[in-house]
């Protein structure tokens, strides 16, 4: 599964499910905070949105585009930028949007930068993969309206 190499390859718990089994097993997919990403009416990925707490002041985002034929075409950027705008309308209390990746997740880090995020925290050496240590990096953006 090529997408796992950029999305935490150090986790060894990836499984392939049929679509019906996936829908039955994982309720997060039906959550309105986790929209599917569609291209020409074909589901190609998902955005994950997790509020840090009940106040909804900070929301963590993640994205997976499963079909690598849609990579490097701006699909992730379009989906994330549209979703960030929708989140701000649906949840006006949001102050900051964050995205966390590992230091080997260069595509996610580049996407976060393109979305206007900056590095706000780094935990050094928390992931190990193929004999190398990697950092956990959180990118963030203040989304309050400025007057």
Q: Kindly list the strands in the beta sheet with 118-129, ordered across the sheet, starting from the edge strand earlier in the chain.
A: 36-39, 42-51, 58-65, 96-102, 132-142, 118-129
- Give all domains of the chain, ordered by start, each with its CATH number: 3-142 (3.40.630.30)
Q: For the chain, how many residues are written?
A: 147
Whole-model pTM: value is 0.81
Q: How far apart are the first and last CA of the chain?
A: 46
Higher pLDDT, 7 or 109: 109
For the stretch 57-88, pLDDT in tens is 999 999 988 888 898 899 999 999 999 999 99
Q: Would you state the pLDDT for residue 104?
A: 87
For the stretch 20-71, pLDDT in tens is 776 676 665 566 788 889 999 888 888 989 888 888 899 999 998 888 889 8
For the stretch 109-141, pLDDT in tens is 999 999 999 999 999 998 888 888 999 999 999
């Amino acid at each position: 599964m090529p997408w796992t190499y950029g999305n935490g390859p150090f986790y060894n718990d990836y499984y392939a499910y049929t679509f019906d089994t996936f829908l039955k097993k994982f309720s997060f997919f039906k959550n309105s905070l986790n929209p599917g990403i569609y291209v020409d009416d074909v589901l190609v990925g998902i955005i994950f949105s997790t509020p840090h707490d009940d106040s909804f002041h900070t929301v963590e985002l993640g994205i997976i585009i499963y079909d690598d034929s849609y990579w490097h075409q701006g699909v992730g950027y379009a989906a994330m930028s549209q979703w960030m705008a929708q989140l701000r309308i649906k949840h006006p209390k949001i102050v900051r949007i964050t995205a966390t990746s590992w230091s080997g997740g260069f595509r996610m880090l580049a996407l976060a930068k393109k979305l206007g995020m900056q590095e706000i925290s780094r935990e050094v050496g928390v992931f190990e993969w193929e004999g190398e240590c990697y950092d956990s990096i959180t990118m963030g953006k203040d989304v309050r309206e400025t007057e």
